[in-house]
Amino acid sequence: MTASNSSTYSDPSSEEVYKALLRSLSRRKGFGILFVQCTPVQGERVIKRLQRDLPNKNTKVLNLKKPVDSLYNIIAEDPEINSLDIVFIQGLERSLEAYIKPGYGGDGDYYNLDTVPKILSHLNQRREAFRDHFDHLCFVFLLPVFAIKYIIRRAPDFFDWSSGVFELSKEEQMAVSGTTLTINPSKNSTLLSALESVRLLREEAETHYLNKSFESAIATYDQIIQQYGEENELDLRVQVARAMVDKSRSLLWLIKYEEALALENRVVQKHSQSDVPELQEQVAKALVYKGVALSQLGRGEEAIAVYEQVVQYYDESDLPKLQEQVAWALVNKGFALDKLGRGEEAMAVYEQVVQRYGKSNVPELQERVATALINKGITLSQLGRGEEAIAVYDQVVQYYDESDFPKLQERVATALINKGITLNQLGRGEEAIAVYDQVLQRYSEYDMPQLQELVVLAVLYKEVTLNELAMGEEAHFT
């Protein structure tokens, strides 16, 4: 398979694949991720040839001689990074080999593990940071087939942002930790072609979703479900489950709660007994979305029971993706309790989230903690405990003020605005204005839409507070 469509009857030659890769790199401007399937020796030759054929591109080779758990800092600390256009990365497979278990026949079980290699967890969790901080760079990963297959399965979020796999290797043998595994090249090419097709459809669907074209997103997810819904290959089963879950998310936005529930129930029924982490993640997401649908339908007690299911199923998992879903389930459970007027119980659940994940350095879990604290602050305000609410909002700022994770920046801005509102409710308008000014000073220059919306809110609340103070002065002198 190549990044372009390949014939059913004949694979493109290595030279054709190389030319497609060269065209892609020569035309590319800004951030990108490419994978080249090749042996280490082929990789060295390809890099030398690309450097010769791309004279107008500043390139660098990062050769990982030993296993690493993190890639972001290695790249960020390179003094030449700002002057580069392309970074070729070799040797990432060394960080996977300790997790490989050779199997016999078919795929064996070399990918079917209960733990995710730290480097792949890192790539999944930091993909936004790669895009936001290295927006001028194209990363080219040169890897053997087993490593690419592993990334597809274990770092699907990171892989989804790639522009595909350029397959140079026609080797039928590969060595992994001293053990030779036999691979069926034609079967692997067919699988990668199908996964590439799914990736392109998912990209299209996500674009529709981000543009709030939910009907179009649903139609595209349906293509994945219809084309690959009967496939038994694990990778495709995972992608179909993801499409079903993401389709249900779009249905929620369209207020089609009953349809969303039916789809979420299908995912749970089909995969709830699976021990494959990627399928467990989709089951957990489906249950969280099911809870949202039930809550929106006014079935709060049922929603709470569903959120408790997520905790019951996956509480003991050490996989970050499942921990994220458990944290979301707890946050949503707290919100559902709040809607039922059970504020004290809700705050106890929010505190659970803080106790469990407050020391985590995973940005997605930190976001859950920040949300739990903000919700707790809102509940305290509603109960007339404004001073305690202010202290909770201060916690959010204290914990995450220095984070460069966009969603955490949004949470900090939200906490500050809520703090300002609470101060004003307590008759401390001057302090409230100072807090709104903090939001304006920190975030006015950011171009992220969500932060810009919060800046607008801060301006509005500041104006309201100034008007109230002015009216108070008038009343005082009348």
User: What are the residue boundaries of the structural domains of the chain, listed by start?
Assistant: 14-183
- pLDDT grade, residue 104 (50/70/90)? very low
Out of 191-200, 285-294, 338-347, pick the least confident: 191-200
How many helices (H) and strands (E) in the chain? 20, 7
- pLDDT grade, residue 447 (50/70/90)? confident
**Cα→Cα distances 226→21, 77, 168, 202, 232, Å:** 31, 46, 31, 14, 14
Query: Per-residue pLDDT tens for 278-301?
Result: 899 999 999 999 999 999 999 999
Q: What is the pLDDT of residue 115?
A: 55
CA angle 314, 319, 322 (to 5 degrees): 45
Out of 60-69, 76-85, 123-132, 365-374, pick the least confident: 123-132
Q: Are strands 138-143 and 173-176 parallel, antiparallel or unpaired?
A: unpaired
With CA atoms as reference, report the closest residue to 377 among 412, 429, 340, 333.
Answer: 412
Instruction: Specify the DSSP class assigned to residue 91.
Output: -
Q: What is the pLDDT of residue 114?
A: 46
Question: SS3 of 62, please?
Answer: strand
Tokens of 207: 């674009």
Fold of 14-183: Rossmann fold (3.40.50)
Query: Per-residue pLDDT tens for 256-280?
Result: 999 999 999 999 999 999 988 889 9
Q: Which helix (H) or strand (E) holds 399?
A: helix 386-400
Rounded Cα distance, 200 and 162, in Å = 10
Q: What is the pLDDT of residue 455?
A: 92
Arithmetic mean of pLDDT over the chain: 84
Rounded Cα distance, 31 and 304, in Å = 42
pLDDT at 395 over 70: yes
The answer, as to whether pTM is greater than 0.85, is no
Mean pLDDT of 334-362: 94
Rounded Cα distance, 146 and 293, in Å = 40
Q: What is the pLDDT of residue 191?
A: 59
Neighbours of 45 (CB within 10 A): 13
